[in-house]
Amino acid sequence: MKTRSKKKAKASRTIRRDSQVAEFETRDLGTDIRAARTARVLRPRARPTSILLDDDLVDQLRAKAAKRGLGYQTMLKMIVREHLDEY
């Protein structure tokens, strides 16, 4: 019976682990978490606001947010927070 060298075995584990990490990082877990109905949203003190946005802008926000596993409103809050000081 052939035995693999320690170096080959370690390389095999590294490749397998790297592929698992890559798979995990590419998955959007948002729907899994929502489907489980176990996540709780903790919100700091905040004031609800209303804003009218064009449909194409909302579509762009949704697309960019989905790539990060976020909702479009969360994405919009992040953008405002990060760029508010620029104005």
In tens, the pLDDT along 5-36 reads: 666 555 555 555 677 677 767 766 666 666 66
Q: Which domain holds residue 29?
A: 6-86
Q: Is residue 1 part of a domain?
A: no
Q: Cβ(71)–Cβ(65) under 8 Å?
A: yes
What confidence tier does 4 reach under pLDDT thresholds 50, 70, 90?
low
Instruction: Name the DSSP letter for residue 37.
Output: T
In tens, the pLDDT along 28-84 reads: 666 666 666 666 666 677 788 899 999 999 999 999 999 999 999 999 999 999 999
**Number of domains making up the chain:** 1
CA pair distance 53, 18, nearest whole angstrom: 41
